[in-house]
Structure 1
Amino acid sequence: MSTHDSAQAPPHSRRERPAKPALTRQGIIDTALAIMRDEGLHKVTMRRIAIALDTGPASLYVYVRNTEDLHAQILDALLGSITVPAPDAGTWRERLKAVLNSYRDVLFHHPAIARMALSTQPSGPNYMALVEAVLALLAEGGVTGRAAAWGVDLLLLYPTAAAVEHSGERSAAQEAADLSALGAQIAAADPARYPHIAGLGDELISGDGAGRSDWAFHVLVDGILAAISRTPPA
């Protein structure tokens, strides 16, 4: 290459790199979801997300208030997969159970999120859509007003608690061993000291998860319907 050609070549800095995409709330949430899936929820911190986005942690607080807010947004993003049956897909009670089972399945597939859901109040659009769907189905069944407003809390709390109970990431063999150990402890209970436990020993550990969940759903719905007249006025 001639000296003249070299002199005319445009300058090039070895420090140049593509411009970083602009930070957005959705981009932060998407990055948090990716980290959670790859490394677990415990790794979803402001510092870890900042590293992934090649920025400083302080810049994230413009879009997310704190870690609790971030976790709430992660939960809300996952709730986007909940399905609401069409009006002709069954009775209002059957469709309500399907919605709650869909919510439960989301939490069962994300154990860490299930534990977080007990202490973090979601408030995003997907959570609002879930609450709206439950309230609409309760209204279809004749439950309105404060009874519906209080009832929706109970209906969402049960699948959340059930998911947390099974969020220990134990194997099927471990769960069977734990159940066997519990059965042995109940069978050895002193009837004089624990007469009711001894009398209901087999029943205390009877049924499977699906059967118990179905029973609990109907108990809650029947209880809400029966308690309409007992719900205190606003």
Structure 2
Amino acid sequence: MTAHSGTPHSRRERPSKPALTRDGIVATAVGIMREEGLQKVTMRRLAQELDTGPASLYVYVRNTAELHAAILDELLGTVPPPAAGGSWRERLEQLLGSYTDMLFAHPSLAQSALVARPSGPHYLDLIERVLALLAEGGVPAGQAAWGVDVLLQHATATAAEHATRVGSANAQEEMDTLARVLRETFAGTHPHIAALGPALIAGPPSARRSWGFQMLINGIVHTPVPVAGEPAAAPGGDDRG
């Protein structure tokens, strides 16, 4: 009989797992999202990937909503700062466009971003950049503080709408139907729609996106934040009716 040398090993032994960390959990969640989509990023699926139990994850992330917000914050780190040169308006539009493009690249995340509440460092960096550009343009602090929310809401909603169309097998058919309905609208009942017709959906998406950002920036510049207890006045007008 041949003798075995060395210390016997249990068949149940395997390499030790790396310690769980919030950063590691979020990085794994981002990987799942890239491969399988955000809908697959659940605590159960994440625990399976990390070879642990779902209960272990709740020490680091309270729920799926917080996890999705953390994923959003992680990807916000890929949004580049605007290039040097150009006016503050041009650089602000470039920054907002880069944020929108990041969401375009992750359609399921774009829809989740409408209700996500990120609070991580990359989200703070984005807010800081927007506020700095508004300040450079001389926008009053109160208008900048309210305006940054409106700008990001518009960018997020634009990306979410795009994601819905990308995910629809009938997107082109639906647009064709809408265009036909607008062309055939009866002027007697809907005169304004009939007058504008195709113009309501005309123009390339890039031009409409740029116009939307510029329209909002102009509004932020020229619309004062109402004083507490007083109704907001229309820009450039008065309250006399």
TM (norm. structure 1) is: 0.92
Deviation at 1:218, TM superposition (A): 1.1
Contact 1:146 1:233 in 2 (8 A): no
CA contact (8 A) 2:108 2:163 kept: yes
1:151 and 2:144 matched: no
Pair 1:84-2:78 in alignment? no
Deviations 1:143-189 (A, max 9, x none): 13211010001111111111111112538995443322111111221
Measured after TM superposition, the shift of residue 10 of structure 1 is 1.8
Aligned to 2:202: 206
Equivalent AA in structure 1 for residue 79 of structure 2: I
Q: 1 or 2, which has the higher helix percentage?
A: 1
- Work out which of the residue numbers 205, 229, 232 in structure 1 matches 2:226: 232
1:59 aligned onto 2:53? no
- Tell me the residue number matched to 2:115: 119
Residue 99 of structure 1, aligned match among 84, 95, 98: 95
Deviation per residue, 1:102-159 (Å, 9 max, x gap): 0000110111111001111111111100000000000000113211010001111111
- The letter for the 1-side match of 2:40 is K
In 1: Cα distance, 2:169 partner to 2:46 partner: 36
> Could you tell me how far apart the structure 2 residues matched to 1:117 and 1:16 are?
42
2:132 matches 1:136: yes
Root-mean-square deviation (CA, aligned residues, Å) is 1.8
Identity in percent = 54
For residues 62 and 173 of structure 1, do their structure 2 counterparts lie closer, same or farther at Cα, with a shift above 3 Å needed? closer
**Which consecutive residues of structure 2, in runs of 5 or more, have no partner in the other structure?**
229-241
Paired residue type of 1:70: L
- Residue aligning to 2:180: 184
Cα distance in 1 for residues equivalent to 2:6 and 2:199: 85
Alignment check: 8 A CA contact 2:32 2:40 kept:
yes
> Structure 2 length as normaliser, TM-score?
0.89
Q: Is the 8 A contact 2:103 2:110 kept in 1?
A: yes
How far, CA to CA, are the matches of 2:80 and 2:32 in structure 1? 25
